[in-house]
Structure 1
Amino acid sequence: MSTSTSDRPHTAARPPRAFSRRVAAAGLPAGPAIPAPVTEDDLAGLPSAAVRYLEAMGVVGRPRTWSLRAHWTGRFRLGPDRPWMPCDAWQYNAAEEVARLYRMRLLVGGVVPMWGWDTYRHGTGRMLGKALGLVTVADGSGPEFDRGELVTWLNDAVLLAPAVLLHPRTRWEDRGEDRFAVSVTDAGRTVSAVVALDGSGRPLDFRTGDRWADLPGGPVRTPWSTPVRGWTVVGGRPRMTGGSAVWHLPEGEYVYGEMTPVGLDLDVPPGR
């Protein structure tokens, strides 16, 4: 089945120019490596829960997703006792070359704008935050960020573009009727997560141990999850209605982000 413009989820807003320029300059692939649609044969041998998930997400008969661009709104906070800040975010993910460019705008104190970039390119992850676009307030890189940004790319694939997972770099593991484990390998590094499904076969939660929380004593490897608020259908495809980002600290859960997708485009050339 081919995907027409009307069949494809689309965004109403256009991304910020700074975001589009950064994505265009990244030199990412502008098309799919495999133009053929997903078939039932592509699901053969996968755990039953994974098959149920992929079928529920509508991947069979559609082209293989090679990129996604998403627009989010919500709120974010920098610590369990810190105030919530409104945020607006755009991201672009590539699949032929595993890459993720995520730009978030926060409004600190309701007045001061802060922009943050989370990126993953060529096996390297980085987090960079600047107040007023000028003053660096956060700059993180290293092995912890490499793994953390890669598993976040995996999270995006599970929730937003499941056909991306039908690739030799992905491994699947049976975890019962309503969950499966999935891992992805890139640049010699493997990260994994467990995905729990709702009664319809769509993701209910994604949980991994391959991220590090930025705690007062430094980065600490901490369980991280992204519970999903619910699902709807947009353009003939399931789309999550919202979700949270949660650190599972020894003293309890710390929800630091609550986001709602307001736009999603699949198979968009970089920078468009």
Structure 2
Amino acid sequence: MSTSTSDRPRTPARPPRAFTRRLAAECLPAGPAADPVTEADLDGLPPAAVRYMEAMGVVGRPRTRALRAHWRGRFRRRTDGPWMPCDAWQVNTAEEVARYYRMRLLVGRVVPMWGWDTYRHGAGRMLGRALGVVTVADGSGPEFDSGELVTWLNDAVLLAPAMLLHPRTGWEDLGEDRFGVSVTDAGRTVGAVVALDGCGRPLDFWTGDRWADLPGGPVRTPWSTPVSGWTVAAGGLRPVGGAAVWHLPDGEFTYGEMTLADLDLDVVPGR
């Protein structure tokens, strides 16, 4: 009996060579192998954060030194703009707070555009180029430093909770179904509120530490990433996907909808 393509084991996609070369050049530290997380590591956390860590299957598993994620979905730049197909790869590290996110868009489903969101050494940057040569976006400065750092925090909450078990992380008790979490790096602190479902899994991540690129310039704007669902893979929970939403004065603007295609929590950056 023949086997259909959909029945065959899925071979994970490989990161683009430009992405791998960039990471290799950055020489990101992976850090030494870490001991598994224990119940004692959760002492002092708010009850809701403990419930979250237990639901995410953190206890008994090694601490995440670096994650690599592959996303597929769609993206738009304006509330009235067209949706563009999107394929994205990222690597985040824990020993040193760093994040490299490369996104490929198809403008008009024809013209390719690549965007980099990066954070390292306390500096964030957003760079976009059409056809690889024409710069269409280039942002840096304090607003991007905070915005990229809080996005690193968002990734840790949703993809690699063990990255949060570090002295740089702050916690706030907000009741049984939510908690506050913050991260401090390079003298800057950003934070968010995480809302949980009945099983202790994140429903949403909400922060006021990002700036929307509006016609008059960057404006500090509430930002959230509601999760569309959860699944079990490799012995732990991972999000099926979610959205990126600006909460503008005149209403919500969902500018990204992504599905998690692959996640590896034990990678060496640049390989």
State the TM-score, normalizing by the size of structure 2: 0.95
SS at match of 1:53: helix
Counterpart residue identity of residue 27, structure 2: G
Identity of aligned residues (%): 81
What residue in structure 1 maps to residue 46 of structure 2? 47
Which ranges of structure 1 fall in alignment gaps of 5 or more residues?
1-9
Greater relative CO, 1 or 2 (CA 8 Å, sep 6+):
1
The letter of the residue matching 1:13 is: A
Partner of 1:161: 160
Q: Distance in 1 between matches of 2:21 and 2:269?
A: 9
Residue type at the aligned position of 2:221? T
Structure 1 counterpart SS, 2:206 = strand
For these two proteins, the number of residue pairs brought into alignment is: 262
1:214/1:11 Cα in 2 relative to 1: closer, same or farther (>3 Å)? farther
Letter in 1 for 2:89: W
- Distance in 2 separating the partners of 1:232 and 1:37: 22
Instruction: Mark the runs of 5 or more structure 2 residues left unpaired by the alignment.
Output: 1-9
Change (3 A) 1:23 1:11: farther
For residues 28 and 131 of structure 1, what CA distance do their matches in structure 2 show? 27
CA contact (8 A) 2:104 2:113 kept: yes
Report the equivalent of 1:121.
Answer: 120
The match for 1:264 is 263
Report the 3-state secondary structure (helix = DSSP H, G, I; strand = E; otherwise coil) of the residue aligned with 1:24.
helix
TM-superposed CA distance for 1:45, in Å, is 1.1
Deviating more after overlay: 20-29 vs 215-224: 20-29
Instruction: Look up the equivalent residue of 2:105 and give its one-letter code.
Output: L
1:2-26 CA-to-partner distances (Å, cap 9, x unmatched) read xxxxxxxx97111000000111111
- Give the distance between the partners of 1:162 and 1:53, measured in 2 at CA: 9
The two structures have a TM-score, normalised by structure 1, of 0.95
Partner of 1:21: 21
- Counterpart CA distance in 1 for 2:202 and 2:11 is 22
Q: Deviations over 1:226-266 (max 9, x none)?
A: 00000010111101011000000010000000000000011
Q: Which secondary structure does the structure 2 equivalent of 1:59 belong to?
A: coil
Give yes or no for contact 1:11–1:265 (8 Å, CA) kept in 2: no
Name 1:236's counterpart in structure 2: 235
The within-5 A match list for 1:203-218 is 203-218=202-217
Greater shift, 12-21 or 22-31, is seen at 22-31
Counterparts of 1:186 and 1:236, CA distance in 2: 30
RMSD: 1.0
Give the whole-Å Cα distance in 2 for the aligned partners of 1:242 and 1:111: 25
2:253 aligned partner: 254
Runs of 4+ in 1 over 3 A off after TM superposition: none
Show CA shifts across 1:200-233 (max 9, x none): 1010000000000000010000000000000010
Counterpart of 1:35 in structure 2 is 34
